[in-house]
Amino acid sequence: MTGLTLDIEQARALNRVVTDLLVQAEASVVLLTDIGGNVLAQAPQRNDPHLQTMAALAAGAFSATRELARLTGETAFRSVSHEGEQTSLFVQSLNEDFLLVIVFQRTTTLGLVKLYGRQAATDLAPMLGEVRHQAPVSSAFGPFTLDETSAAVFDLPAPGSLRGRAVRPPLRTG
């Protein structure tokens, strides 16, 4: 099964749209994800592991509402919003397979978020269509090679032996 591939140009173009949306809607986080919870673009640009979890949960929640739509005879709910005391979440579907996840505070409004969300959706639609239908494989990206120095993908201590103690990191990260 072939997966999704973003080349550098595409990744940056998506990030620009998402960043504009963050600024215009005065949101605190904007994620562009696929329905499986992969993050294609995000704003702000920071390395926050929680964003991956947020994407997985938002995608899961949206899939669940899609099932609810099916059960209620509706063809599709286009968006869902969760309103909290301080922080709210707005999720909008794009092209069936992608989601815009927008986190915002009380300093902005759902109306504004929806307005700019819709505009971003229009901008993103053709870009995502291209991503979905013609996964780029350029020879510039050479073949992938495995790091042969590690015998296992994840190098873990034998059960019970080193539990609770600091263990050698399995693979050099970053």
Partner 1 sequence: MSFVNFDKKEINFKVVYYGPPMGGKTSNLAYLHDVMPAEVRGDLTMLSTQQDRTLYFDFLPLQSTVIKGFISRFQLYTVPGQPIYDRTRRIVLTGADGIVFVADSQWSQMTSNADSLENLKANLVSHGRSFDTTPLVFQLNKRDLPDIAPAPYMEFLLNRGATKADCVEATAVKGNGVAETLNRICKMVLAQFIEEHNMKVSVVRRAESA
| Residues at the contact surface with partner 1, assessed by CB under 8 A | 1-8, 11-12, 15, 34-38, 40, 49-50, 52-53, 56-57, 60, 63-64, 67, 137-139, 141-147, 150, 152-154, 156-157, 159-160, 162-163, 166-167, 169-174
Minimum CB separation of residue 75 from partner 1 in Å reads: 17
SS3 170: coil
Q: Which phi and psi angles does 56 have, rounded to 5°?
A: -65, -40
Q: 81: which 2 tokens?
A: 């919003």
Nearer to partner 1, 113 or 128 (CB): 128
Minimum CB separation of residue 149 from partner 1 in Å reads: 10
Q: Which of 35, 77, 41, 39 lies closest to 59 in space, CA to CA?
A: 35
Minimum CB separation of residue 107 from partner 1 in Å reads: 27
Nearer to partner 1, 37 or 117 (CB): 37
Nearer to partner 1, 61 or 112 (CB): 61
Contact 27, 103 (CB under 8 A): yes
Contact 105, 124 (CB under 8 A): no
Nearer to partner 1, 16 or 78 (CB): 16
Q: 11: which 2 tokens?
A: 């990744």
Nearer to partner 1, 115 or 162 (CB): 162
- Cα gap 89→102, rounded to integer Å: 6
Minimum CB separation of residue 171 from partner 1 in Å reads: 5
The CA–CA distances, whole Å, from 25 to 7, 20, 46, 52, 95 equal: 27, 8, 19, 22, 21
Q: Which residues contact 9 (CB under 8 A, 6 or more apart)?
A: none
Minimum CB separation of residue 163 from partner 1 in Å reads: 6
